[in-house]
Amino acid sequence: MRVKKLLHTRMRVSDMDQTINFYTDVLGLEVMERKTSPRGSHLAFLKVPNSEELIELCSFPPSGPVTVQEDLVHLAFEVDNLDRTIEALTAKGIRITDGPTRSSSGSRFIFIGAPDGYEVELIERPPGIAIV
């Protein structure tokens, strides 16, 4: 048996609207669908530009607020120009929590905080580099 492809990654969140606003307004993701599951979880599926994989946000208020362990999980997105990205984030009041840093491959990256303590990595790759 072998899987065919990755479809989505689920992240549990405390405040669905706050989290959706972050991913749409700050990072430019698009909400594809919002619904309530048969178990009562509030779900939102976000489309990442140039990617088939979706991010599934899940909020289930009866289980209490989400606590994300530091440095346990993060999402990484590629950007065209890290300097312009930093300018745009600063204009929106988004604080860079780490970086900019240059990797041995020549990629440059920063981290920003997302709701619930999740981290987001934004990476600028030099031409011809596939992995950080």
User: Do the Cβ atoms of 110 and 95 come closer than 8 Å?
Assistant: no
Look up tokens 């607020």; give the residue: 65
User: Do the Cβ atoms of 77 and 48 come closer than 8 Å?
Assistant: yes
Q: Report how far residue 126's alpha carbon sits from residue 105's, in angstroms, rounded to the nearest whole number.
A: 8
Q: Is 87 a catalytic residue?
A: no
Choose the catalytic residue: 30, 53, 70, 121: 121
**Catalytic residue ranges:** 121
